[in-house]
Structure 1
Amino acid sequence: MTNPDTSRLAVITERLRGCGYRITPQRLAILTVLAQSPDHPSAETVHRRLLPDIADLSLATVYKTIAALKACGEVLELQFSDRDNRYDAARPNPHPHLICQGCGAVVDPELPGVEAMAAALAQATGYSILTHRLDFFGLCPACQARRSTTDGADNAEEGNGEDLPDKK
């Protein structure tokens, strides 16, 4: 039986070749991290994970590889206004996410009916749905537990704005 991570990596490398990109050892290492990471890493996280093995890997190379993946439709970019963008090459097609507002964890829940909802929306509005993004924001169980054991002053220090005085 084929390992899903390995087969996904093979699909990505073939797709990049088909788009005219060379598969260098550095690029292959970046693709491997992105294809096998369930946590939707940022470019900086990918860079940090690879530095122990590839000391001369530049952050620019990571960003250029991600740009190539985006150009070929092989990575899903999650953009945030208050955090680094995160990337999902394991499942590059639109799918729902659970995003923790506390620690930034990103989870891919199984949510049946999303495609049917998009089709019904297209039919009802006359829109041609090109893509979609369905994200749910909240607190993961670990952050909920931390929050329940801390007081309001600790929450304010975490930057969520609770218990802060109104600006005059």
Structure 2
Amino acid sequence: MKNLLNNLVNKVTDHITNRDTHIHTIGYRGETAATRFLRKNNYRIIRRNLKFRLGEVDILARDPDGQTIVLIEVKSTAAADNAPPPEVHVNHDKQEKLITLAAIIQKKFNLQLHPLRIDVITVTFPDKITAQPTIRHHPNAVEIGQSHWL
């Protein structure tokens, strides 16, 4: 009986660990693909994974205009039939958190004189590991001062 219970605990632990590793791997790969996409489109990456008590900003960048500071939320997913688009994960609560993080960043880094916006980039990885992901960039997806999606 004790061995049966230990086996069950090990299987559950392995499943959770593998699932979490998979999620983090997809997230990391998505942020890396988004960073490459931004650089290719003349954005200057200031910082990745900027952590605060309230949460994390995936990418902080400077727009090609040279003035605008952009907070970028990256949502990544593996392609699957009937899966909702990754955009749905930027819900009202997430938008409010991003707006608050924008205010914190603006104050902490003394960026009050720079325009600031929040973009969302979605990265969908196809079933084939060698195929290129689909990247969608939604500039100004979350309006500062007003929370709504696209």
TM-score of the superposed pair, with normalisation by structure 1:
0.30
Q: Looking at both structures, which has the greater relative contact order when contacts are Cα pairs under 8 Å and sequence separation is at least 6?
A: 2
Larger radius of gyration: 1
Bigger strand share:
2
TM-score, normalised to structure 2's length?
A: 0.33
